Amino acid sequence: QVQLVESGGGLVQVGGSLRLSCTASLRPFRSYAMGWFRQAPGKEREFVAAISWTGSGTYYTDRVKRRFTISRDNAKNMVYLQMTSPKPEDTAVYYCAASRDFPLAGIKEYEYWGQGTQVTVSS
């Protein structure tokens, strides 16, 4: 039974920072590339960032480049999204997901999904 569980969401001010975490029961975890997606109120789910199997490769949407950083710890079955300089437009439910290939940005290309964690950026 595969489970992905996000945590770390909450309320953050525009001058603050936030780190999202995702733990995955994927076996073996290192065989999967990982991604982060988000869905804002009234909008479609969109790609945010992806990371390769070992963590040596990353890929970001232009909307978060130089502000967000994706990372992973294969020894802990964890993937992270460090959010710095957050903007109100970053407010959304953030989802982690797993895929066999890299880089991928389409929601239909990811095999497993978490249930999401809410991030609200106050202005």
Give residue-wise pLDDT tens across range 28-42.
999 999 999 999 999
Quote the pLDDT of residue 10. Answer: 98
Q: What is the CA radius of gyration of the chain?
A: 13
Q: What is the mean pLDDT of residues 6-18?
A: 97
Q: What is the 3-state secondary structure (H, E, C) of 65-108?
A: CCCEEEEEECCCCEEEEEEECCCHHHCEEEEEEEECCCCCCCHH
Quote the pLDDT of residue 42. Answer: 95
- Rounded to whole angstroms, the Cα distance separating 114 from 40 reads 16
Give residue-wise pLDDT tens across range 19-30.
999 999 999 999
Confidence band (pLDDT; 50, 70, 90) for 86? very high
For residue 20, the one-letter residue type is: L
Give residue-wise pLDDT tens across range 64-85.
999 999 999 999 999 999 999 9
